[in-house]
């Protein structure tokens, strides 16, 4: 199994998965610079320092919501769909896996009692935020 997987339809990236087993020294950015949600993996040794910093206000234009899910506990099956709402494929994620949902559609089936942490752009727009199918 690949420890990092990118899922595509015919035209675009649908998702990036970092499986729990992935490990690499240093820092690795996994998304292109133009994504509105950036995903990176970092592994640093004890005593390593990241210099104190603040993030300056930089205007950004976000057109699509991208969301990152951290599987804290359990197992979940994710089905992926293209922009035309056609099924593409599915993956099962487990404790420790991380996924960035980039484009297209998705649904979830909890295979076990599951806890996930979700990070996405805000503010949440309620039902205006999603088209269910």
Span between the terminal Cα atoms of the chain, in Å: 31
State the residue for tokens 């769909």: 81
Residue 126 carries which DSSP code?
Answer: G
pTM above 0.85, yes or no: yes
Contact criterion met (CB below 8 Å) for 78 and 102: no
Residues 116, 69: Cα–Cα separation, whole Å? 6
Per-residue pLDDT tens over the stretch 67-117 = 999 999 999 999 999 999 999 999 999 999 999 999 999 999 999 999 999
106 neighbors 81 (Cβ within 8 angstroms): yes
pLDDT 10s digits, 10-35: 989 999 999 999 999 999 999 998 88
């Amino acid at each position: 199994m690949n420890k990092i997987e990118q899922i595509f339809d015919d035209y675009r990236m649908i998702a990036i998965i970092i499986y729990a087993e992935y490990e690499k020294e240093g820092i690795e950015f996994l998304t292109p610079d133009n994504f509105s949600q950036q995903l990176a993996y970092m592994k640093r040794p004890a005593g390593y320092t990241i210099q104190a910093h603040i993030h300056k206000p930089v205007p950004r234009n976000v057109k699509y919501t991208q969301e990152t899910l951290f599987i804290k506990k359990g197992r979940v099956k994710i089905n992926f769909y293209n922009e035309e709402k056609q099924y593409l494929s599915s993956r099962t994620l487990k404790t420790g896996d991380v996924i960035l949902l980039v484009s297209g559609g998705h649904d979830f089936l909890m295979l076990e009692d599951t806890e996930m942490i979700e990070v996405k752009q805000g503010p949440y727009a309620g039902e205006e935020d999603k088209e269910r199918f």
